[in-house]
Amino acid sequence: MPHDHHDHLSPSGHPYRPDDDHPLTYWQQMEIAIREILIEKGVTTAAEINAQIDAMDARSPANGAAVVARSWTDPAFRDALLQDASAASASMGFDIGPLKLIAVENTADVHNVIVCTLCSCYPRNLLGLPPDWYKSRAYRSRTVKEPRKVLAEFGVVLPEQVTVRVHDSTADMRYIVIPARPAGTDGWSADQLAALVTRDSMIGTGLPKEPGAIADART
Amino acid sequence: MNERRYMRVANHMPPGHVRTPAYLRGKVGWVERTLGPFSNPEELAYGHAATSQPLMRIRFTMAEIWGAEAEHPNDTLDAEIYAHWLEPTDAPHAP
């Protein structure tokens, strides 16, 4: 008899887990309906939509890390980045589309952190998709009220004399933090430095890696 | 150093799509930089022909926003506020 009492176990002997399916939400159905109508009417094609999804998935924090590392090694580029971060990023060959970007720089006296209280604005065209916590109600509401507590939970404990500057991405601009260059990296190339730049360090909830963390990667 | 240009955010609570956070309405900050002009999102959201508005980055102290509850009074918050929400004003208190 094929259906014996071991039927609920997988071939590896573990119980099957229930599927995590749920019915489509209203807005998921709406998205599918609009997408299908646009394809039927010849406004766009499935191939174009897939290509756009691929392009967005291909963007990653590595793009932002390259921008930060160049600003650490090229003072003229750093000035241009602070002046017009969109133009400076585009000049490195990144396809940032309509992104309007502002770069804010961490110094010995100032620590910047980015949040979007109204929704989840994020420089996707340069850094890729935002982390889930960035879109959470807790991060969005607490970062404007108690940024030091939030940063401490990320492991960033700031001295009293450092000013915290929170940037609420309320309208048309998107933000990238230029973290301070780690000590002990004199003579490093931009490529080597880029490996120290984490996604969170460009949101302001983290710091770059210490040079020792990737010492092996240098050789 | 240039003198700070102080602005008060209007304390309106209109219905509909606005991009001025409620926690900043009625608060006073200074202009960090001026951007735009950009199309007014309050009109764009409803498919109306949108007027162009300067967009100001306004810097507030945490003391101004949260009063005695501020975590660290001299920390700051910058937000982008459309010009039609802003009224020039004096500094909130003696610097």
- Is residue A119 flagged as an active site residue? yes
- Note whether B41 contacts A: Cβ–Cβ < 8 A: yes
Mutate to test the interface with B, among A83, A144, A156 (most CBs of B within 10 A): A144
Q: B90 vs chain A: nearest CA distance in angstroms?
A: 23
Structural domain span for residue A85: 60-218
Asked if A106 and A179 touch (Cβ cutoff 8 Å), the reply is: yes
Tell me what pLDDT residue A68 has: 98
How far, in Å, CA of A115 to CA of A201, rounded?
13
Q: B83 vs chain A: nearest CA distance in angstroms?
A: 12
Please check whether residue B94 lies inside any domain of the structure. no
Please check whether residue A1 lies inside any domain of the structure. no
Please tell me the total count of domains within chain A. 2
pLDDT tier at B95 (50, 70, 90 boundaries)?
A: very low
Q: Which residues of A touch B21 (CB under 8 A)?
A: 117-118, 168, 170
B56: closest CA among B72, B89, B78, B26?
A: B78
Please check whether residue B1 lies inside any domain of the structure. no
Q: B71 vs chain A: nearest CA distance in angstroms?
A: 6
Domain boundary among A57, A79, A107: A57
Of B23, B80, B82, the CB nearest to A173: B80
Please check whether residue A3 lies inside any domain of the structure. no
- Is residue A86 flagged as an active site residue? no
Q: Which residues of B touch A147 (CB under 8 A)?
A: 71, 75
Please tell me the total count of domains within chain B. 1
- Please, what are the averages of pLDDT over each run of 10 residues along chain A (219 residues)? 62 84 94 97 97 92 97 98 96 90 97 96 93 96 98 97 97 96 96 97 97 65
Tell me what pLDDT residue B93 has: 64
Active-site hit among A10, A119, A136, A141: A119
Of B38, B75, B81, the CB nearest to A147: B75
- Is residue A10 flagged as an active site residue? no
Please check whether residue A13 lies inside any domain of the structure. no
Cβ within 8 Å, pair B21-A168: yes
Structural domain span for residue B13: 6-88
Please check whether residue A96 lies inside any domain of the structure. yes
Tell me what pLDDT residue A1 has: 45
The ipTM of this complex is 0.94
Give the pLDDT confidence of B9-66 residue by residue, as tens digits: 999 999 888 999 999 999 999 999 999 899 999 999 999 998 999 999 999 999 999 9
Of B19, B65, B71, the CB nearest to A171: B19
Q: Do A86 and A42 fall into the same domain?
A: no
Q: In the structure encoding, which two tokens stand for residue A18, read together? A: 């229930």
- Note whether B23 contacts A: Cβ–Cβ < 8 A: yes
What are residue B35's DSSP bridge partners?
B55
Q: Do A129 and A51 fall into the same domain?
A: no
Residue B86 host element (H or E): strand B86-88
Q: In the structure encoding, which two tokens stand for residue A89, read together? A: 């990023």
Tell me what pLDDT residue A215 has: 58
Asked if A204 and A105 touch (Cβ cutoff 8 Å), the reply is: no
Asked if A198 and A186 touch (Cβ cutoff 8 Å), the reply is: no
Q: Do A101 and A204 fall into the same domain?
A: yes
Query: What is the secondary structure of A124-163 as a DSSP string?
Result: HHHH-SPPGGGGSHHHHHHHHH-HHHHHHHTT----TTSE
How far, in Å, CA of A133 to CA of A146, rounded?
16
- Is residue A169 flagged as an active site residue? no
What are residue B30's DSSP bridge partners?
B6, B59
Is the pLDDT score of B1 beyond 70? no
Tell me what pLDDT residue B5 has: 96
Please check whether residue A97 lies inside any domain of the structure. yes
Cβ within 8 Å, pair A170-B21: yes
Query: What is the secondary structure of B28-53 as a DSSP string?
Result: EEEEEEEEEEEE-HHHHTTTPPPPEE
> One-letter amino acid identity for B27?
K
A133: closest CA among A145, A150, A146, A112?
A: A150
Q: Do A99 and A70 fall into the same domain?
A: yes
